[in-house]
Chains A and B, each alone.
Chain A
Amino acid sequence: MVPSYVPLSYYLLLSGFLFGCGVIGFLIKRNIITIFMSIELMLNGVNLSFVAFAAHWHALAGQVFVFFVMVVAAAEAAVGLAIIIAVYRTRETLNVDQVNLLKL
């Protein structure tokens, strides 16, 4: 057994805290970029729990997943930021409540 200097539960608590911050930020912020960053925060919160579990159980799968998540997050960031720029160019605002053309 590899000595674990920090117990698993700490990691999980931090992971849950980061995820919760992301959720709250996503729910209450209006700026798209902030929302976007909140999503990244949630993703990384989950990543943290993945690696924590991976270390705890000596299983590589969790770490591999983290790489996948990071790749997807990077791709998402590229597409998402492009969309945000496009939105800003057309609407001149980044307030999500004002981007509501599709609403009835």
Chain B
Amino acid sequence: MNPMLNLWLIPLLPLAGAAINGFFGKRSSRKAVTTVALFFSGAAFAMALWVAMRFSSLSLPYQEYFAHWLRSGSFSVDFAFYLDQLSLVMLLVVTGVGFLIHVYSIGYMWGDPSYYRFFSYLNLFMFFMLTLVLAGNYLVMFIGWEGVGLASYLLIGFWFTKDSAASAGKKAFIVNRIGDFGFLIALFLLIRHFGSLNFNQVFQSVLPMSAETSGAGLLTVIGILLMVGACGKSAQIPLYIWLPDAMEGPTPVSALIHAATMVTAGVYMVSRSHVIFERAPIALTVVAIIGTLTAFFAATIGIAQTDIKKVLAYSTVSQLGYMFMACGVGAFSAGIFHLMTHAFFKGLLFLAAGSVIHAVGGEQDMRKMGGLRKKIPWTFWTMTAATLAISGIPGFSGFFSKDEILWRSYQASWVYWLVGVITAFITSFYMFRLWFMTFFGEYRGEADTEHGHGGHSASDAHGGHGHGGIHESPRVMVIPLVVLAVLSVVGGYVGVPGSLGGNNRFDKFLGPVFHGSAPAKEHSTALGEKGAPEQETEGPEPQKAVSTELMFTGISVVAAFLGLGLAWQLYYRRPELPDKVAASFSGVYEVVLHKYYVDEFYGALFVKPLINFSTRILWQGVDQKVIDAAVNDAGDGAKHVSDEVRHMQSGNIRSYAGWVAAGSAVVIAFMIWMWTGAR
């Protein structure tokens, strides 16, 4: 019997914070708003820690049931929560990183006139995200899923008076809706064929099924549809286009929602549904291919971006691609491991970028930065840690998680591995490009920074300061940076692989969730390498595999250092060189700079025809010619008729009486006629 954990409190605490700040924040002081926001998000974090401490005494999965929701025949959905190792990891990441970003936001948003609104939204986001990760069935998960979409929309369009922010919010929402459509259909299929949406029941019914090796069946369809949903939320090809635009939101939002937590919801969902995916090799292959392609393409776009946040946005898309690649080759725990380390270092990168933007007065263009190393040392050092981590430099967290993914993907197919390593090289290159451009060389911005010349964030991030010059951020912003930097460095040590002398405790911790659920052995061998890695890690690895694994680790380290070296050569030693390179590859450079014209392509293929169709047919055709016309003609007709008939309403009492008399005469005549007729 499990002790009562009262898991429902974890999401509800931030919701209470959101409600209090949303309703009363406008009239409260900034201090009060801060206290409420921090208290409730901190309480959620504290409670998550408390749950983690009692975790070993639970029999898993721990389930909590609160209330009926839907009842229809034998089908029912309840408000229920579900806690296992996977949700615990997500829970800790979301509340922990979320709390740190709340702290950071105090400094970053202090000058904003809508301070209270920001924290209300941020707490609301926490509520939905925690609902998502703790959900006990797909429908409760879907509430969280849609809810984080809403919070994301609200926060991207936080500065909604700016047109680009408002449309970026809309874009994010609409693109996400496309993905949600797939997710919903998958849910309907689950209801149709398994009669339930509860994780337990669905997975119990799926477990005895064998893998669909011969062709696409039900599970394949469900898997692919779930992946469509994940593509929307987690910004994968072909639905990744909203994430870079989402950078219009305040930087802490980019860090929390569009790097650390919300965008990883897709990875979480796919991992949660691993039982389905393991029986649908085609769907898994789709996941792996989408992940690999996204990782690679987004990384290449990242090379040419000049906006510091856009680089990080494409980097996020690319890293999410890695996670899906891991899921696609069946290495779900590796994907979640990377999700966790990524939450640390990418959250940190965004926060540090925010600190840089704050320091230079709202400038986001890296070409106007440079030489900031001495001026903002705390930001510099923490960002260095994050850059090293994401680039996969040995010893930092990203190294372990990325290496794990690459090794597992090699076991599935060398193609994934090769693209992955190339991507790792590109990642290292663009990250160090960012690092060198921002912190080294000469300062290229305006000599004496006039505050508020940049974007909206400038004036807002700086409202309370009012002093010029480049300066370090206040302590309340630096502390979260330092904490995340420590996590970015040491976060990887929970999952040191066996080949490097560790025992991959992270993988073992998640083991009960992911292992032992693969379809029966003969199927997994029949479907090739896909199911195999799961089995392999359970026993001690043979010596030969270890040396191979070490060799591959070496290759990815070399790739990372190559990227570093290239960036050093191009952006530190000979800063004039990149322009020449760009000029000599001007065709390619143009394409990459314009993000492969994907936005334009989608615009021409989907948006334009849709707008034309809506304008010509739906608006000018159906709406104006049918609906409006019907309403107007009905009105005009009524008017014409009453124009004639209103003469009866003379106001002359005798004419009324005359009508009454005439009417009764008619009635009497009619009755007499009836009476005689009836005889």
Contacts and interface: CB of A to CB of B under 8 A. Distances in A.
Interface stretch (B534-542, B550-558, B649-657): B649-657
Given A23-B661, A27-B661, A102 B651 contact: yes
Interface residues of B, number: 8
Nearest to A20: B661
Secondary structure at the B interface, as helix, strand, loop or mixed, is: helix
B651 A26 contact: no
A104 B646 CA distance: 11
Contacts of A100: 651-652
Contacts of A26: 654, 657
Interface in A40-56: none
A92 interface: no
A89 interface: no
A50 B651 CA distance: 33
Interface residues of A, number: 12
B654 A96 contact: yes
Interface in B627-656: 650-654
Contacts of A96: 652-654
Contacts of A35: 653
B651 A103 contact: yes
Contacts of B650: 103
B658 interface: yes
A102 B296 CA distance: 81
A50 B142 CA distance: 76
A102 B649 CA distance: 11
Contacts of B657: 23, 26-27
Contacts of B658: 27
Contacts of A27: 654, 657-658, 661
Contacts of B661: 23, 27
A55 B230 CA distance: 91
Given A23-B661, A27-B661, A104 B651 contact: yes
A30 B655 CA distance: 12
A6 to B, nearest CB: 24
B497 to A, nearest CB: 92
Contacts of B654: 26-28, 30, 96
17 contacts: A23-B657, A26-B654, A26-B657, A27-B654, A27-B657, A27-B658, A28-B654, A30-B654, A96-B653, A96-B654, A97-B652, A100-B651, A100-B652, A102-B651, A103-B650, A103-B651, A104-B651
Given A27-B657, A100-B651, A103-B651, 17 more contacts: A23-B657, A23-B661, A26-B654, A26-B657, A27-B654, A27-B658, A28-B654, A30-B654, A35-B653, A96-B652, A96-B653, A96-B654, A97-B652, A100-B652, A102-B651, A103-B650, A104-B651
Interface of B: 650-654, 657-658, 661
What are the 6 closest A-B residue pairs judged by CB atoms, nearest first? A103-B651, A26-B657, A23-B661, A27-B654, A27-B658, A96-B653
